């Protein structure tokens, strides 16, 4: 929503909105001329409708409930109300566009793609779900030919997008609050693919390979039978070196300043999209040095009492597994972009949504087994009602069942979680906080920790 507001105000529209929390995003919007109300009340609608020649258009996200006082007032005033996806769809259709979809990696892929286009003087417009380090923002109103948009599948609204080029990073069941099964998700993503003029997809994803007919494919496992490939030569904790192939022909070598095979795949998708849009390989190759992941993707927050604190958005078992694999690569290789190579992985995980926890309880237990110690926060509900058995306590039991020697503990709340981190993590640890909820506040809580607080319970094995 903030990215859309930023783009519209930079294109000359009068934009208002509301947010009950003050943060850097709100401050940036105000600095750009967006009127931001501190509360959400019917009076806000009256204020923006006062003394105007043209009634405002109201844009809402899926997160806005029908009981929201602003929404109710907008309906009473008979204002036109659009979902955010309708507005994004209009922007996508207004110019040549690349829409990046997929179960995992779409924010990173769209960030890397935006950065490559920006560093090659394309100046794209960007609507991304995370902060793009190159712009220090999740939105940018570019003057160039292309628009890059992250296409979120969580509510199915991406079927409205008719992009010049669609990109699908991978596909597996998620968002079980919206999709009853994998077939529903596949059908939704197929509708998205059919709406795009061209489709670029990941050959390494078995579901995509079986169910989709893409215009072009990429891989990080093979150069045979694919249009684009990045075959790794060296994987370590601070960079990835790979050979790039197009139509089976070696184009050259790249050095990606990011670790992890999943990041190589994300980067290959971005490179392939650039090539399909006519950029030279040499230009793209030179832009790779500026690549950085988006905010909350293995995001180093600081060093606290000898522990390096990293924040990551991973909230699906596959994402947790990929993030921990990258952390293990950092530990084992002794090479890292962190200030010091860590010695151990202390995973702090906050399950996100009861529905996801219930569906993937044992998958989460398997993935978290890659850590050296695990600390669980209570489930972040994201507005859902509790589901029987979908608890962090039951996840801890599943972890202990699959990994009997792994130290595991459960915190009653985030305050106790902070105390448990203090007591049971060690100097030299990589404290890896994962989740899509408010677990990203761990760094702030650690820096404010009062050592006089009560002693936390022991970490049970």
Residues noted as catalytic = 106-107, 150
CA–CA distance, 68 with 394 (Å, rounded to integer): 34
Token duo for residue 256: 């990606």
**Three-state secondary-structure class, residue 29:** helix
DSSP tag of 240? E
Element (H, E) at 8: helix 2-10
The whole-angstrom separation of Cα 420 and Cα 408 is 11
60, 71 contact by CB (below 8 A): yes
Exposed/middle/buried for 196, CB within 10 Å: 0-12, 13-18, 19+? buried
Asked if 136 and 2 count as a contact pair (C-beta separation under 8 A), the reply is: no
Q: Which long-range contacts (CB under 8 A, 24 or more apart) does 83-88 make?
A: 83/59, 83/157, 84/1, 84/4, 84/59, 84/60, 84/157, 85/155, 85/157, 85/158, 85/160, 85/161, 86/59, 86/160, 87/4, 87/59, 88/4, 88/127, 88/149, 88/160, 88/161
What length does the chain have? 461
Rounded distance between C-alpha atoms, residue 4 and residue 151, angstroms: 13
CB contact set of 29 (below 8 Å; sequence gap of 6+): 2, 5, 6, 9, 15, 17, 36
DSSP string, 150-199: E---TTSGGGG---SEEEE-------TTT-SSHHHHHHHHHHHHHHSSEE
Q: Hey, is 421 helix, strand or coil? A: helix
Work out whether strand 35-37 and strand 16-18 pair parallel, antiparallel, or are unpaired. parallel
Given a contact cutoff of 8 angstroms between Cβ atoms, the answer to whether 149 and 98 are in contact is yes
To which H or E segment does residue 375 belong? strand 373-376
Lookup: tokens for 299: 């995001």
Q: Which tokens is 168 given?
A: 């699908």
Q: Which helix (H) or strand (E) holds 43?
A: helix 42-49
């Amino acid at each position: 929503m903030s990215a859309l507001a930023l783009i519209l105000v930079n294109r000359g529209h009068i934009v208002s909105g509301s947010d009950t929390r003050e943060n850097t995003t709100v401050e940036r919007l105000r600095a750009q001329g967006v009127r931001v109300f501190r509360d959400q009340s019917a009076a806000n609608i009256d204020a923006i409708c006062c003394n105007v020649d043209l009634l405002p258009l109201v844009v809402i996200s899926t997160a806005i409930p029908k009981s929201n006082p602003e929404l109710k007032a907008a309906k009473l005033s008979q204002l036109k109300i659009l979902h955010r996806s309708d507005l994004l769809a209009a922007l996508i259709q207004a110019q040549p566009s690349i829409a990046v979809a997929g179960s995992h990696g779409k924010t990173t892929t769209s960030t890397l793609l935006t950065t490559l286009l920006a560093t090659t003087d394309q100046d794209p417009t960007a609507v991304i779900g995370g902060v793009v380090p190159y712009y220090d923002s999740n939105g940018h109103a570019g003057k160039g030919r292309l628009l890059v948009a992250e296409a979120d599948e969580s509510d199915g609204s991406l079927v409205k997008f008719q992009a010049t080029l669609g990109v699908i990073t991978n596909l597996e069941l998620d968002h079980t609050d919206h999709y009853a099964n994998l077939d529903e998700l596949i059908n939704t993503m197929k509708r998205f693919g059919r709406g795009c003029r061209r489709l670029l997809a990941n050959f390494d994803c078995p579901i995509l390979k079986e169910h989709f007919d893409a215009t072009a494919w990429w891989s990080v496992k093979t150069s045979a039978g694919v249009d684009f490939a990045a075959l790794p030569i060296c994987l370590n904790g601070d960079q990835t070196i790979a050979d790039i192939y197009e139509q089976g022909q070696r184009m050259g070598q790249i050095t990606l300043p990011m670790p992890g095979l999943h990041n190589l795949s994300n980067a290959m998708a971005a490179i392939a999209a650039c090539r399909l849009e006519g950029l030279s390989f040499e230009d793209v190759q030179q832009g790779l040095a500026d690549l950085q992941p988006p905010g909350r993707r293995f995001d180093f927050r600081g060093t606290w009492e000898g522990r390096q604190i990293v924040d990551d958005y991973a909230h699906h078992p596959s994402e947790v597994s990929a993030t921990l694999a990258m952390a293990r690569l950092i530990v084992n290789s002794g090479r890292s972009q962190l200030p010091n190579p860590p010695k151990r992985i202390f995973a702090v995980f906050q399950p996100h949504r009861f529905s996801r926890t219930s569906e993937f309880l044992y998958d989460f237990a398997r993935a978290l087994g890659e850590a050296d110690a695990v600390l669980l926060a209570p489930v972040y509900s994201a507005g859902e009602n509790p589901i029987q058995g979908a608890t962090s306590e039951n996840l801890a039991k599943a972890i202990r069942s699959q990994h009997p020697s792994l130290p595991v503990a459960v915190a009653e709340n985030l305050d106790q979680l902070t105390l448990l981190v203090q007591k049971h993590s060690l100097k030299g640890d990589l404290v890896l906080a994962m989740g899509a909820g408010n677990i990203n506040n761990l760094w702030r809580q650690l820096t404010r920790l009062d050592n006089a607080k009560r002693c936390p319970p022991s970490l049970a094995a």
